[in-house]
Amino acid sequence: MQTALRTSLPETDLAGRASFAPHARVVREEHSAPATGLPLSIRGLRKSFGDNEVLRGIDLHIPAGQFVAIVGKSGCGKSTLLRLIAGLDKIDAGSISFGDQVQPEDIRVMFQEPRLLPWARVLANVEVGLGRDRASKDAHARAEQALIEVGLADKRDQWPSVLSGGQKQRVALGRALVSRPRVLAFDEPLGALDALTRISMQRLLERVWRDQGFTAILVTHDVAEAVALADRVLVIEEGRIAHDVTVNVPRPRERGSVELAGLEGSILSHLLSADDRT
């Protein structure tokens, strides 16, 4: 099991190949899910807000089903990159292409705030995530299934206002998962949670990613979180990808292990040395 995982993990090898390469198939089997992830190619991506050029040419390939974390100082453009991938903002120059025909339901975003409708019960909030399938007959059943996946089946008839911060974020995750997305973008989804809730949410994210096999893109300012969850960590500085680090540690990963701590330290020193230069 462990060795099999190891062979599948050198993601830098995978990065150059198309998703139908034998290697990629191994990855999918390891995630024990149908082939749902979408590969992602970004070429020469630029974005400015007024005179402020936030992204200055991003080139990136993410293979199907990979878990990528994007770290960087605040204002480096990491959230902007995520919003462009999710289609929330318009691209100035360059292109983002997915390996397949994309439906709106295929790409979902989870924000730092849960953004639940306070006037809808938990189950109805999850149903919102079905997109155009909201009116279908199995909407209830699918939403309930998503609630079970995030461990909140007993809260289906509650108002969001009675839930804790972590529970609200789990409902938001259920809403993002209910349409079985092929790309899931996380914009610091755990930033507002306390330390213990964070860790249990990180485990939940990792579990649903392994179950469903979507391509995950996580923007975070927490380097420890990035190395604990991701196959690959991208460090963004001044609108460009400054480092592309592969996390070659088998799962399930032990938090606080020497390997993870070493990686975290080297990424942090990259970020801090950039700080010294300015």
Verify binding: residue 113, other proteins, rule CB under 8 A. yes
Among 4, 18, 93, 117, interactor with other proteins by CB under 8 A: 117
Angle of CA points 89, 222, 188, to nearest 5°: 30
With binding defined as CB under 8 A, does residue 109 bind other proteins? Answer: yes
Contact characters 139-178, other proteins, x per CB under 8 A: --------------------xxxx------------x---
Least Cα distance to 173 among 118, 222, 216, 134 occurs for 216
Q: Which of 65, 129, 189, 213 binds other proteins (CB under 8 A)?
A: 129
Instruction: Please identify which residue in 88, 93, 141, 148 interacts with other proteins, judged by CB under 8 A.
Output: 88
| 128, 132, 136, 140 alpha-carbon torsion, rounded to 10° | -20
Nearest to other proteins of 115, 240 (CB atom): 115
Q: Which is nearer to other proteins, 104 or 252 (CB)?
A: 104
The site for other proteins, by CB under 8 A, has a size of 23
DSSP-derived 3-state class of residue 102: coil
Task: Return contacts of 159-165, CB within 8 angstroms, 24+ apart.
Answer: 159/118, 159/121, 159/122, 160/114, 160/116, 160/117, 160/118, 160/120, 160/122, 160/125, 161/118, 163/122, 164/197, 165/114, 165/192, 165/193, 165/194, 165/197
Q: Which is nearer to other proteins, 161 or 273 (CB)?
A: 161
* DSSP assignment string, 10-28: -HHHHHTS-TTSHHHHHHH
162 class by beta-carbon count within 10 Å (0-12 exposed, 13-18 middle, 19+ buried): exposed
Indicate if the alpha-carbon torsion angle 26, 30, 35, 37 is positive or negative: negative
Q: Among 15, 96, 120, 242, indicate the residue that binds other proteins (CB under 8 A).
A: 120
CB of 158 to other proteins, least distance (A): 10
| Residue 105 binds to other proteins (criterion: CB under 8 A) | yes
What letter represents residue 127's amino acid? E
111 binds other proteins (CB under 8 A): yes
What single letter denotes the amino acid at residue 219? Answer: V
Which of 64, 68, 71, 86 binds other proteins (CB under 8 A)? It is 86
Question: Which range of residues in 56-64, 69-77, 111-119, 144-152 is near other proteins by CB under 8 A?
Answer: 111-119
- Chain center to CA of 76: 18
Q: Which of 34, 75, 119, 252 binds other proteins (CB under 8 A)?
A: 119
115 binds other proteins (CB under 8 A): yes
Residues 23-52 as x/- pattern, contact with other proteins by CB under 8 A = ------------------------------
Q: Minimum Å distance from CB 8 to other proteins?
A: 32
User: Closest Cα partner for 26 from 46, 56, 6, 50?
Assistant: 6
Which of 74/161 has CB closer to other proteins? 161
CA distance linking residue 73 with residue 78, whole number of Å? 9
Kindly list the residues in this chain that would bind other proteins in the complex (CB under 8 A): 86, 88, 104-105, 108-109, 111, 113, 115, 117-121, 128-129, 131-132, 159-162, 175
